[in-house]
């Protein structure tokens, strides 16, 4: 009896340090942010309760509206890019060989470069006159673009830039692929299923939990990850084309000491992030029963 | 800081080096007699001028604050690039000799955004730096929150500096509601850096005091050259698309940025001489093509072009001097006043030393502030080339005008000649954000993505909220 109750307690004891850390470092600040969002707070003086005034301001603040919209397409774009990219690369490289190992390392590389350096590298790659991308396009006789200088191409560029940081997702997909029992695939092949059929009816459904995990994580991260790359490569332009919510939060909260308003915008980020995650859950889980994995 | 905007291999290498060194904030209490590479320029300065302060070290007899033996810790935050930081380190070392028991910690946070984040975090934690260096365009929002120590009395009692030692243009910029809050370390202004060789090659007369917009434009045209491939190989001029660049042109043309400099209620960019000046500046790009196009600027910044010798005239303040000295080796360059129109006008660039009202050690903080911005300190910092001294006697001395060893620009007198023509942007609690909005509009018009009228109207409309907020802030105090 005693042993049993202890074994029931054990997992919680093991989790305790982590739970404590998450509570203090994540949930407490989150709750605090929600509370602050109903106040006027300049960090120097105590917060003043102002109810929903900060939220009401969203309707007049056109830069906020623009930034929210920009953040939305950025998140959707990068999550899709990274998800599809990580999956395709994992499928292609789920083999052995020296070249394969090298390729895997190469894919992981962009994810470990510090973000400022990473953004500066892209600034070089996308340089309209001397960048290797435009030089390559010119050599091939293809049209070149001022990538970071027009609205559409700047938007595409920041998504692609973030999209290549898919190393972690790639590793997760690779691990998930290798966990799928060979017998299932062999049996399907013996029954005459084509590669495409095997992918659609066996691999993808079995990979859904991992894909979901990746999509959740990427959604939460992408909201914030837009900050540094856009600041360095596009300077949030041209004309607000890559002006994201974190930029506006920074300019209002830290630039103008409007921390209450900044908190309200952060709450919007939480809520929109949660909604997006809920949406992904519904879309990806629809019509398949992969719960067992 | 500003370096982010100017892509160059040098910058990238610099950033990578910083990353490797893991250096973001480097507390630098340099040991005495530090052997920095440019110690040769500063050493004679220190020894030659150590008379007034360093010798008054008899703590019991002297009643002045400067001579009082102080102790304790003082933190001092700056946001400087590597070229300029050296001067501050020498300053700290020199102060250590005057007040050996004060432990002064210099913290440099090079990126402007990070600097503000760090300041905000430390103020929120009630552990603000005792002293921080900040631009006059930003100090108002700290002053209105009661976070800065008024220093009128300290300045009045000081035996090291007097208010009348300073250029009024610099000192007044740090006044808020009749009180003096910070001590300016410099009186910089927007001027024109030019490549002497390109002027000589094109046979164009060198710019001088009183030259006009027309003179400037014809020089810029003559100095813009196409290469064999039909593309522009050399540009006449380069200027950043910012309010602080546009403003002096508006003033020179007889207009103003805001309706009322003391109590502004709106921008006046959308009509009269302000709009005309805005159009004139924009047309340098859209019509005259004497400044780099959007793509050319992105491919290589104006500053980088100037440093490489493919851009003849570059508008910048004094801050760029150390970098130009270090990077330009194969041609002569100098500085000239920005061109005049109906008036001669330029814009103040000044940073001040501000003491936090929450500073733990105000006596020592003031002692360092008066030392750094007194004759002793300014003689040291002027050696770095970064500043135009805010103290008249130092600015007018050979230390600034004809430094040894000789270093460009030769015509340092320009900054002093232009001092009477210096104007400044209004002191507002929301000014920083107004600049954010208007810079975007200027850039849009400058590169032809919007008409001047549309951009000006958008600038006026999209800053209404900030003016309203400023008035609310001022009214509520």
pLDDT computed for residue A3 by the predictor? 55
Q: Do A44 and B15 touch (CB under 8 A)?
A: no
Nearest chain B residue to A241 by CA: give it: B440
Residue B65 has pLDDT above 80, yes or no: no
Nearest chain B residue to A62 by CA: give it: B462
pLDDT computed for residue A86 by the predictor? 94
How many angstroms separate the CA of residue A176 from the nearest CA in chain B? Answer: 34
CB B134 within 8 A of CB B351: yes
The percentage of residues in chain A with a pLDDT greater than 90, rounded to a whole number, is 58
How far is residue B92's CA from residue A12's CA, in Å, rounded to a whole number? 53
CB B447 within 8 A of CB B372: no
Name chain A contacts of B124, Cβ cutoff 8 Å.
43-44
CB B226 within 8 A of CB B233: yes
CB A247 within 8 A of CB A67: yes
Question: CB-based contact (8 Å) between B229 and chain A?
Answer: no
pLDDT computed for residue B81 by the predictor? 83
Q: Do B430 and A256 touch (CB under 8 A)?
A: yes
DSSP letter string, B87-153: HHHHHHHHHHHHSTTEEEEEEE--SHHHHHHHHHHHHHTT---SEEEEEHHHHHHHHTTT-B---HH
When mean pLDDT is compared across A110-114, A151-155, B188-192, B340-344, the lowest value belongs to: A110-114
How far is residue A56's CA from residue A261's CA, in Å, rounded to a whole number? 10
The percentage of residues in chain B with a pLDDT greater than 70, rounded to a whole number, is 86
Average pLDDT estimate for B326-332? 95
Residue A290 has pLDDT above 50, yes or no: no
Residue B11 has pLDDT above 80, yes or no: no
**A116 closest CB neighbour out of B19, B440, B462:** B19
How many angstroms separate the CA of residue A101 from the nearest CA in chain B? Answer: 27
Going by the DSSP 8-state scheme, the letter that residue B179 receives in this structure is E
DSSP letter string, B81-100: -HHHHHHHHHHHHHHHHHST
CB B397 within 8 A of CB B300: no
How far is residue A162's CA from residue A79's CA, in Å, rounded to a whole number? 9
Nearest chain A residue to B148 by CA: give it: A44
pLDDT computed for residue A270 by the predictor? 92
Instruction: Give residue B20's pLDDT band: very low, low, confident or very high (50, 70, 90).
Output: very low
Residue B52 has pLDDT above 70, yes or no: no
CB B176 within 8 A of CB B168: no
CB B96 within 8 A of CB B397: no
Name chain B contacts of A230, Cβ cutoff 8 Å.
none
pLDDT computed for residue A288 by the predictor? 55
Rg (CA), chain B: 22
Largest CA distance in chain A: 78
CB A26 within 8 A of CB A200: no
Instruction: Give residue A182's pLDDT band: very low, low, confident or very high (50, 70, 90).
Output: confident
Residue A292 has pLDDT above 80, yes or no: no
pLDDT computed for residue B181 by the predictor? 95
Residue B353 has pLDDT above 60, yes or no: yes
pLDDT computed for residue B22 by the predictor? 35
Q: What are phi and psi of B80, to 5 degrees?
A: -130, 155
Instruction: Give residue A289's pLDDT band: very low, low, confident or very high (50, 70, 90).
Output: very low
Name chain A contacts of B462, Cβ cutoff 8 Å.
62-63
Instruction: Give residue B42's pLDDT band: very low, low, confident or very high (50, 70, 90).
Output: very low
Average pLDDT estimate for B180-192? 96
**A44 closest CB neighbour out of B4, B12, B145:** B145
Name chain B contacts of A232, Cβ cutoff 8 Å.
4
Per-residue tokens: B477: 């105090």
Q: Do B145 and A42 touch (CB under 8 A)?
A: yes
Average pLDDT estimate for A228-253? 91
Name chain B contacts of A114, Cβ cutoff 8 Å.
19
How many angstroms separate the CA of residue B204 from the nearest CA in chain A? Answer: 30
Question: CB-based contact (8 Å) between B145 and chain A?
Answer: yes
Question: CB-based contact (8 Å) between B2 and chain A?
Answer: no
Residue-wise pLDDT for B113-164, tens only, equals 789 888 988 988 889 999 999 999 998 889 988 999 999 999 999 999 999 9
Name chain B contacts of A123, Cβ cutoff 8 Å.
7
pLDDT computed for residue B308 by the predictor? 96
How many angstroms separate the CA of residue A67 from the nearest CA in chain B? Answer: 14
SS3 B410: coil
Average pLDDT estimate for A211-236? 87
Nearest chain B residue to A57 by CA: give it: B465
pLDDT computed for residue B39 by the predictor? 33
Residue B69 has pLDDT above 90, yes or no: no
How far is residue B432's CA from residue B435's CA, in Å, rounded to a whole number? 5
How many angstroms separate the CA of residue B182 from the nearest CA in chain A? Answer: 19
How many angstroms separate the CA of residue B147 from the nearest CA in chain A? Answer: 8
Per-residue tokens: A259: 């921390």
**Mean per-residue pLDDT over chain B, rounded:** 86
Question: CB-based contact (8 Å) between B7 and chain A?
Answer: yes
**Count of CB atoms situated within 10 Å of the CB of B476:** 7
pLDDT computed for residue A6 by the predictor? 65
Report the alpha-carbon angle B402-B404-B407, nearest 5: 70
β-pair partners for B335: B193
- Asked if omega into B290 is within 30° of 0 (cis), the reply is no
The closest alpha carbon to B160, from B78, B59, B70, B51, belongs to B51
Nearest chain A residue to B140 by CA: give it: A256
Q: Do A117 and B16 touch (CB under 8 A)?
A: yes
Q: At how many degrees (to 10) do helices B82-98 and B362-372 cross?
A: 120
| pTM > 0.95: yes or no | no
pLDDT computed for residue A95 by the predictor? 84
pLDDT computed for residue B179 by the predictor? 94
Per-residue tokens: A134: 């435009």
Residue B77 has pLDDT above 50, yes or no: yes
CB B78 within 8 A of CB B106: yes
How far is residue A153's CA from residue A161's CA, in Å, rounded to a whole number? 12
How far is residue B158's CA from residue B82's CA, in Å, rounded to a whole number? 32
Average pLDDT estimate for A91-100? 87
Beta-strand runs (E) in chain A: 39-40, 48-49
Q: Do B120 and A254 touch (CB under 8 A)?
A: yes
Instruction: Give residue B85's pLDDT band: very low, low, confident or very high (50, 70, 90).
Output: confident
CB B334 within 8 A of CB B192: no
Name chain A contacts of B145, Cβ cutoff 8 Å.
42, 44-45, 257
**A117 closest CB neighbour out of B4, B19, B120:** B19
Nearest chain A residue to B127 by CA: give it: A44
How far is residue B352's CA from residue B136's CA, in Å, rounded to a whole number? 7
pLDDT computed for residue B202 by the predictor? 96
Per-residue burial over B34-44, b = 16 or more CB atoms within 10 Å of its CB, e = otherwise: eebebbebbee
**A239 closest CB neighbour out of B124, B141, B444:** B444
Average pLDDT estimate for B411-420? 96
| Of residues A81 and B26, more confidently modeled | A81
Question: Residues of chain A whose C-beta is under 8 A from some C-beta in B?
Answer: 42-45, 60-63, 114, 116-117, 120, 123-124, 127-130, 146, 148-149, 231-232, 235, 237-240, 250-252, 254-257
Q: Do A255 and B436 touch (CB under 8 A)?
A: yes
pLDDT computed for residue B67 by the predictor? 62
Residue B324 has pLDDT above 70, yes or no: yes
Average pLDDT estimate for B284-309? 96
Name chain A contacts of B19, Cβ cutoff 8 Å.
114, 116-117
pLDDT computed for residue B36 by the predictor? 36
The closest alpha carbon to B444, from A241, A155, A146, A144, belongs to A241
The percentage of residues in chain A with a pLDDT greater than 70, rounded to a whole number, is 95
Sheet harboring B422-423: ordered strands across?
A: B188-189, B346-349, B422-423
Going by the DSSP 8-state scheme, the letter that residue B76 receives in this structure is E
When mean pLDDT is compared across A142-151, A260-269, B36-45, the lowest value belongs to: B36-45
CB B104 within 8 A of CB B129: no
Residue-wise pLDDT for A3-14, tens only, equals 556 678 888 899
pLDDT computed for residue B147 by the predictor? 92
- Residues 104-123, chain B, touching A (beta carbon < 8 A): 113, 116-117, 120, 123
Q: Do B299 and A129 touch (CB under 8 A)?
A: yes
CB B242 within 8 A of CB B435: yes
- Any residues with CB less than 8 A from the CB of B223 and at least 6 apart, and which? B198, B199, B202, B204, B234, B235, B236, B237, B290, B312, B313
Q: Do B300 and A129 touch (CB under 8 A)?
A: yes
Instruction: Give residue B15's pLDDT band: very low, low, confident or very high (50, 70, 90).
Output: very low
Name chain B contacts of A29, Cβ cutoff 8 Å.
none
pLDDT computed for residue A53 by the predictor? 95
**Mean per-residue pLDDT over chain A, rounded:** 89
Q: What are phi and psi of B11, to 5 degrees?
A: -65, -45
**A250 closest CB neighbour out of B19, B113, B437:** B113
Residue A177 has pLDDT above 70, yes or no: yes
Beta-carbon contacts below 8 Å between A and B: 84
Residue A39 has pLDDT above 80, yes or no: yes
How many angstroms separate the CA of residue A126 from the nearest CA in chain B? Answer: 9
How many angstroms separate the CA of residue A46 from the nearest CA in chain B? Answer: 10
Question: CB-based contact (8 Å) between B449 and chain A?
Answer: yes
Name chain B contacts of A148, Cβ cutoff 8 Å.
298
Distances in Å between the Cα of B419 and the Cα atoms of B138, B170, B189 are 21, 9, 8
Instruction: Give residue B401's pLDDT band: very low, low, confident or very high (50, 70, 90).
Output: very high
Q: Do B295 and A129 touch (CB under 8 A)?
A: yes
Per-residue tokens: B78: 């700056």
Instruction: Give residue A240's pLDDT band: very low, low, confident or very high (50, 70, 90).
Output: very high
């Amino acid at each position: 009896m005693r042993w049993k109750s202890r074994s029931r307690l054990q997992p919680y004891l093991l989790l305790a340090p982590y739970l404590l850390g998450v509570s203090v470092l994540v949930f407490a600040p989150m709750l605090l942010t929600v509370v602050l969002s109903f106040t006027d707070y300049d960090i120097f003086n105590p917060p003043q309760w102002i109810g929903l005034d900060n939220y009401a301001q969203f309707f007049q603040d056109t830069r906020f509206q623009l930034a929210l919209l920009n953040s939305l397409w950025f998140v959707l774009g990068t999550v899709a890019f990274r998800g599809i990219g990580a999956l395709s690369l994992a499928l292609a490289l789920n083999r052995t060989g020296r070249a394969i190992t090298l390729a895997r390392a190469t894919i992981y590389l962009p994810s470990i470069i510090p973000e400022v350096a990473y953004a500066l590298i892209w600034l070089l790659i996308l340089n309209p006159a001397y960048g290797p991308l435009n030089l390559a396009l010119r050599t091939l006789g293809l049209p070149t673009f001022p990538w970071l200088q027009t609205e559409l191409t700047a938007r595409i560029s920041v998504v692609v830039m973030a999209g290549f940081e898919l190393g972690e997702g790639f590793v997760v997909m690779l691990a998930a692929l290798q966990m799928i029992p060979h017998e299932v695939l062999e049996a399907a092949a013996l029954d005459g299923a084509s590669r495409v059929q095997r992918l659609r009816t066996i691999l993808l459904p079995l990979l859904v939990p991992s894909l979901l995990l990746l999509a959740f994580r990427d959604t939460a991260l992408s909201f914030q990850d837009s900050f540094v790359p856009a600041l360095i490569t596009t300077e949030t332009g041209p004309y607000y084309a890559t002006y994201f919510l974190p930029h506006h939060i920074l300019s209002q909260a830290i630039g103008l000491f409007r921390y209450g308003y900044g908190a309200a915008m952060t709450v919007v980020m939480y809520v929109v992030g949660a909604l997006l995650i809920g949406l992904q859950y519904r879309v990806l889980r629809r019509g398949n029963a992969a719960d067992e994995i | 800081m500003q370096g982010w905007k100017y892509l160059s291999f040098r910058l990238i290498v610099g950033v990578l080096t910083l990353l490797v060194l893991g250096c973001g904030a480097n507390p630098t209490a340099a040991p005495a007699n530090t052997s920095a590479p440019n110690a040769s320029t500063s050493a004679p300065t220190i020894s030659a001028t150590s008379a007034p302060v360093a010798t008054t070290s008899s703590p019991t007899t002297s009643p002045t604050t400067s001579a009082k033996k102080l102790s304790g810790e003082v933190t001092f935050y700056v946001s400087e690039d590597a070229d300029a930081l050296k001067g501050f380190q020498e300053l700290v070392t020199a102060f250590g000799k005057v007040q050996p028991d004060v432990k002064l910690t210099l913290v440099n946070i090079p990126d402007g955004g990070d600097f503000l984040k760090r300041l905000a975090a430390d103020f929120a934690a009630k552990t603000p730096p005792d002293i921080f260096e900040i631009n006059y365009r930003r100090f108002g929002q700290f002053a209105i929150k009661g976070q800065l120590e008024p220093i009128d009395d300290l300045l009045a009692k000081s035996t090291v500096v007097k208010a009348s030692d300073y250029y009024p243009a610099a000192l007044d910029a740090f006044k808020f509601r009749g009180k003096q809050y910070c001590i300016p370390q410099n009186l910089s202004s927007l001027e024109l850096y030019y490549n002497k060789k390109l002027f000589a090659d094109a046979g164009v007369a060198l710019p001088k005091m009183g030259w006009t917009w027309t003179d400037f434009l014809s020089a810029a045209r003559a100095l813009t050259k196409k290469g064999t491939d039909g593309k522009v190989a050399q540009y006449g001029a380069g200027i950043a698309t910012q309010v602080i660049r546009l403003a002096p042109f508006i003033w020179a043309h007889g207009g103003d940025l805001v309706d009322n400099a003391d109590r502004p209620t709106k921008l006046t960019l959308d009509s009269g001489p302000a709009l005309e000046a805005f159009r004139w500046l924009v047309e340098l790009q859209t019509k005259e093509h004497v400044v780099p196009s959007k793509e050319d600027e992105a491919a290589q910044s104006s500053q980088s072009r100037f440093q490489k010798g493919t851009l003849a005239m570059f508008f910048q303040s004094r801050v760029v001097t150390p970098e130009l000295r270090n990077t330009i080796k194969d041609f002569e360059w100098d500085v000239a006043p920005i061109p005049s129109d109906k008036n001669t006008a330029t814009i103040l660039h000044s940073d001040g030393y501000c003491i936090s009202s929450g500073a733990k050690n105000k006596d020592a903080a003031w002692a360092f502030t008066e030392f750094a911005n007194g004759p002793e300190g300014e003689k040291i910092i002027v050696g770095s080339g970064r500043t135009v001294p805010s103290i008249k006697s130092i600015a007018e001395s050979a230390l600034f005008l004809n430094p040894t060893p000789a270093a460009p620009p030769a015509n340092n007198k320009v900054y002093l000649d232009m001092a009477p023509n210096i104007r400044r942007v209004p002191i507002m609690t929301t000014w920083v954000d107004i600049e954010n909005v208007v810079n975007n509009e200027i850039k849009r018009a400058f590169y032809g993505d919007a008409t001047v009228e549309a951009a000006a109207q958008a600038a006026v409309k999209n800053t209404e909220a900030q003016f309203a907020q400023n008035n609310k802030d001022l009214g509520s105090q």
